[in-house]
Structure 1
């Protein structure tokens, strides 16, 4: 009984985090591993469990969907889905130890970009203008990462977009939720097809994430952009430290 309650509470927190800034898998994945799942199965089950919460957040954010760095959503969505498929297949074919070592460095880059992107962004945009091909290529790689592991992929999307676009973090939340949900959709289908999901644990975690995702999205629409940005940077920094300790401590 204790494990099920623990997973449900972790799901609520993870769903709210995903709706506000991303990074919910950094709660759900350790919770599933703590409940006894192997790491790859925990990663696959986490993706499936958090999917309903992402869908609930997307419903709340549906009125704020906008282009990404000047590129319309349909092609951006298509490359994200393709990248998610590639990443999910890579996860199923490679050992979990591979991304355990690389993940902290990816998070460090994302945290630095989030923290200093507002200063670097204008300088970069003055010297370089990303074309449609560049934006779609970057988004494909983010989709691959989302399907492969997914931890903080929403943070990484917003960090990258903040360098290429001068929109505030709050305005980027709706497309972030849409594209993270897209990558998770194709990844979840792959994991289910290959039998990598532990369904009982995923269901309990997912019920909590559904409630947390809806409440978190409601809060995200009301919080000022500065507060969302500070919370996002602090969350990213905390997750980066935690996973460096996990990988190398």
Structure 2
């Protein structure tokens, strides 16, 4: 019961963080590892458990999706879905030791993106020269590569997308946020479909459904919390969680 409570609370926390600005992976993944799941299985289970709230968010903002360059939302979403599926395939195909060794560094990279990504994206959006924007093919390739990362690990992938669009198209992060939600949902949805079929995440259905339930509740709470707390306070909560989990994983790697 104590393990189920931990997973439930982690799901709530992850849902709150994702709804408030991202970073749910930093809570969901360590919690599942803490109750005994191997890191690859824990990553697959956390992706599956968190995807419903992403899909709901995409549905809510579907009428506010901006144009990203000259690429249609359908083409961009298809690219994200393909990249997410490939990333999940790499997670399953590569040796588990590869993912185990990469996790602390992936967390550290995602933490840096969380810390500086929004500010960098906003700066790039103000300074970008639209005459040097990426063409449709280059934009889709870049989106595909980011989505592969999203399907493999996913931490802060939405911030990376905002940075890409700000750098290459001068798209303001606030304007692009609805598209970010849709593209992250597309990548996670296809990744989850493959992980459900090919990973052993379903071998622990109780943990999976408990985290999914918590994440849905947390997503609902986080959406309301995001309306009440100052943006700086939300970012501080997410970043503090990310830094803490990154440090703990590096300490765990050193002990191992």
TM-score by length of 1: 0.85
Q: Which runs of 5+ in 2 are unaligned?
A: none
* Cα deviation code 1:119-161 (max 9, x no counterpart): 3433343673222222211110111011101122222222333
For 1:131 and 1:219, the matched residues in 2 are separated by 38
Structure-1 residue corresponding to 2:74: 74
Secondary structure of 1:188's match?
helix
Residues 13 and 241 of structure 1: CA distance in aligned 2, closer, same or farther (over 3 Å) = closer
For 1:68 and 1:241, the matched residues in 2 are separated by 34
**Equivalent pair of 2:81/2:187 in contact (CA under 8 Å):** yes
Larger mean CA deviation between 138-147 and 127-136 belongs to: 127-136
Residues 7 and 115 of structure 1: CA distance in aligned 2, closer, same or farther (over 3 Å) = same
What does residue range 131-150 of structure 1 map to in structure 2 within 5 Å? 131-150=135-154
How many residues are matched? Answer: 246
Larger mean CA deviation between 3-12 and 61-70 belongs to: 61-70
- In the TM superposition, residue 98 of structure 1 has moved relative to its aligned partner by 4.4
Structure-2 residue corresponding to 1:164: 168
Structure-2 residue corresponding to 1:112: 116
**Equivalent pair of 1:84/1:147 in contact (CA under 8 Å):** yes
Q: Which runs of 5+ in 1 are unaligned?
A: none
**Equivalent pair of 1:104/1:247 in contact (CA under 8 Å):** no
Q: Is structure 2 residue 73 aligned with structure 1 residue 97?
A: no
Residues 125 and 169 of structure 1: CA distance in aligned 2, closer, same or farther (over 3 Å) = same
TM-score by length of 2: 0.83
For 2:189 and 2:195, the matched residues in 1 are separated by 10
Q: Is structure 2 residue 234 aligned with structure 1 residue 215?
A: no
Structure-2 residue corresponding to 1:64: 64
For 1:174 and 1:50, the matched residues in 2 are separated by 18
Secondary structure of 1:8's match?
helix
What is the Cα-based RMSD across aligned positions, in Å? 2.7
Q: Is structure 2 residue 27 aligned with structure 1 residue 17?
A: no
Q: Is structure 2 residue 204 aligned with structure 1 residue 201?
A: no
Structure-2 residue corresponding to 1:121: 125
